[in-house]
Amino acid sequence: MSRPKTPYVAPEERAVPDLDSGKYLVMWQGPNHPGITGNMSLRLVIEGDSVVDCETHVGYLHRGFEKLMERRLWMQNFPLVCRIAVPEPDFNEYCYAAALEELAGIEVPDKAVWLRTLSLEMIRLASFLMWIGGQAGAFGHGTIAQWSVTMRDYVLDLFEELSGGRIYHMYIIPGGVRADVPPGFLRHVLETMTVVEQNLKDIELVMFHNAVMKMRAVGLGYIPPDWVDRYGITGPNARAAGFKRDLRKDRGYLAYPRLSFEPVVGAESDAFERARLRLAEMFQGIDLIRQIVDFLPSEGPFRERLPNPLHWKIPAGETYVAAECTRGEYGFYVVSDGGDKPRRVAVRGPSYTHAVSVMERLVRGVNIADVAGLMVSLHTYPPEIER
């Protein structure tokens, strides 16, 4: 495409607009705005229809999870952590459980490893399906959102069947998982994957071979590759800038070393490239789910017996466990002082970087109509910013 990349303004070169000059308009986008993907605000300074300055404002969604966890027993935090990133609860569950298991020296049964992997890949697909609807909607394609949210609901149906919950699955419990797959579940998974794959092909056709989408997304929100390490950009945002980084490969946790896949890498690093890359990851996710269904052991325990959760004490120590979520590196830093409650938990959500510092810098010079599309192209979830 011929359209130039959004001009890059280095932080130190940040222009300070003179608000008293009458040239500018201060406009708040959020905290309730579909383009924000959650409760968060952008304070935009506008000149004409271009953004000249932006400040990100968070604090609308602060629930103090990390502090709450210090007052709850190790096991009582299990139903709490899933709420930190609402659309992808399972990554919280996994990271928390894995951190505890590492500190307490617990080996998780193989079956639980596979079921955890299945659960994470299913939620990755569901989360991407919600994102793609938002991304298309931000550029004026409400129809695609209707399709993709339907597909996401089909995946949530699977979660309902597996775990008993649609949004908060609370399935990955320290020690393993809470239940084996119900009868007929794997067949339902495969059937659903066929439907979702077909729909994704339709979405690919109408969204990525689309003049409006291309005109608005190509070149929007260009992330220079040297930002990636400077800002700690991870996940598809980094891969679209040409970095072959994927924790599933790099850290090799759960059953990923036993699955065959290659991280998808892009080069253009703009909104369109990121969208295309995520679409490719969705197809890849469907393939991974099919592989997992093939590999899933039919026999064996799904949970290691743990001490009584009311008295469970974990030996003093600290650990950091990370997993590759849809947005990048999702991690839990957990400290135990040997007691029955965590001494400290810190959650590392990729949205913190992407939605606060990166967004502030990317948005300068962007047309206000594209701010929402840009925000969505970074794929951020404000709930995980405010733990």
Partner 1 sequence: MDIKDIIAPFAVWKRAFEKPFTVRKPIDERPGAPRYRGFHINDADTCVGCGTCESICMNKAIDLVPVEGRSPSGGDSGLRPRVDYGRCCWCALCVDICPSGSLGMSNEYLWIDSDPEVFRYVPGVDPKPWDGAELGYRRAEGYRLLDMERVPMPELSHAEGVKSFLELVKGYSREQAEREADRCVACGVCVASCPAHMDIPGYINAVRGGDLETGLRLLYETNPFPEACGRICTRACESACAIGSGGDPVAIRWLKRYIADQVELADYGKSLPRAESATGRKVAVVGAGPGGLSAAYYLALLGHKVTVFEKDEAPGGMLRYGIPEYRLPYPALDKDVDYIRSLGVEIRHGATVGKDPALAKLREDFDAVYLSTGLPSAYRLDVPGDEHPRVLDGVAVLAAATRGEELGLGRRVAVVGGGNVAMDAARTALRRGCEVDIVYRRRQVDMPADPEEIREAKAEGARLIERAIPLRVEDSGDGGARFVWNEAEMVQKEPGKRPVPEPIPGAVVTERYDSIIAAIGQGPELSYITEADGVEVRRMKPVTDRTGRTSVPTVFAGGDLVNEKKDAISAIADGHRAARAIDRILGGRGD
Q: Note whether 112 binds partner 1 by CB under 8 A.
A: no
Q: Using an 8 Å Cβ cutoff, are 160 and 288 in contact? A: no
Q: Note whether 72 binds partner 1 by CB under 8 A.
A: yes
CA distances from 305 to 174, 177, 178 (A): 10, 11, 11
- Between CA 108 and CA 342 the distance in angstroms is 21
Q: Note whether 179 binds partner 1 by CB under 8 A.
A: yes
The residue within the footprint of partner 1, chosen from 19, 26, 27, 212 (CB under 8 A), is 212
Q: Note whether 119 binds partner 1 by CB under 8 A.
A: no
Kindly indicate which of the ranges 12-20, 48-56, 125-133, 203-211 contains the residues binding partner 1, using the contact rule CB under 8 A.
203-211
Q: Note whether 77 binds partner 1 by CB under 8 A.
A: yes
- Between CA 236 and CA 247 the distance in angstroms is 12
Q: Classify burial at 92, counting beta carbons within 10 Å of its beta carbon; exposed 0-12, middle 13-18, buried 19 or more.
A: buried
Tally of CA atoms within 13 A in the half-sphere of 256 that contains its CB? 19
The residue within the footprint of partner 1, chosen from 34, 48, 182, 257 (CB under 8 A), is 182
Subset of residues 293 to 352 that bind partner 1, contact rule: CB under 8 A: 301-303, 305-311
Nearer to partner 1, 191 or 229 (CB): 191
Q: Work out the widest C-alpha separation in the chain, in whole angstroms.
A: 72
Q: Note whether 272 binds partner 1 by CB under 8 A.
A: no
Nearer to partner 1, 82 or 120 (CB): 82
Kindly indicate which of the ranges 14-22, 70-78, 248-256, 346-354 contains the residues binding partner 1, using the contact rule CB under 8 A.
70-78
Tally of CA atoms within 13 A in the half-sphere of 261 that contains its CB? 29
Count of residues of this chain found to bind partner 1 when the rule CB under 8 A is applied: 47
Kindly indicate which of the ranges 121-129, 165-173, 228-236, 352-360 contains the residues binding partner 1, using the contact rule CB under 8 A.
165-173
Nearer to partner 1, 40 or 162 (CB): 162
Contacts of 126 (CB under 8 A, 6+ apart): 87, 152, 155, 156, 159
Q: Note whether 153 binds partner 1 by CB under 8 A.
A: yes
- Between CA 323 and CA 91 the distance in angstroms is 7
- Between CA 228 and CA 5 the distance in angstroms is 17
Q: Note whether 178 binds partner 1 by CB under 8 A.
A: yes
Q: Note whether 143 binds partner 1 by CB under 8 A.
A: yes
Q: Note whether 61 binds partner 1 by CB under 8 A.
A: no
Nearer to partner 1, 102 or 160 (CB): 160
Nearer to partner 1, 32 or 198 (CB): 198
Q: Using an 8 Å Cβ cutoff, are 177 and 243 in contact? A: no
Nearer to partner 1, 140 or 365 (CB): 140
What stretches of 105-260 show up as alpha helix (H) in DSSP?
A: 110-138, 142-163, 185-208, 211-217, 225-231, 236-239, 247-250
Nearer to partner 1, 338 or 365 (CB): 338
Q: Note whether 274 binds partner 1 by CB under 8 A.
A: no
**Residue 137 Cβ vs partner 1, minimum distance, rounded to whole Å:** 13
**Residue 238 Cβ vs partner 1, minimum distance, rounded to whole Å:** 28
**Residue 339 Cβ vs partner 1, minimum distance, rounded to whole Å:** 11
Q: Give which of 213, 221, 217 is closest to 141, Cα–Cα.
A: 213
Kindly indicate which of the ranges 16-24, 199-207, 222-230, 283-291 contains the residues binding partner 1, using the contact rule CB under 8 A.
199-207
Q: Note whether 109 binds partner 1 by CB under 8 A.
A: no
Q: Using an 8 Å Cβ cutoff, are 364 and 55 in contact? A: no
Nearer to partner 1, 72 or 251 (CB): 72
Q: Note whether 157 binds partner 1 by CB under 8 A.
A: yes
Q: Alpha-carbon torsion 383, 229, 257, 105, what sign?
A: negative
Contacts of 301 (CB under 8 A, 6+ apart): 109, 111, 112, 176
Tokens representing 282 are 């969705």
Tell me whether strands 317-325 and 328-336 are parallel, antiparallel or unpaired.
Answer: antiparallel
Interacting residue ranges for partner 1, rule: CB under 8 A: 72-73, 75-80, 83, 141, 143-144, 147, 150, 153-154, 157, 160-165, 168, 170, 178-180, 182, 202, 205-206, 209-212, 214, 301-303, 305-311
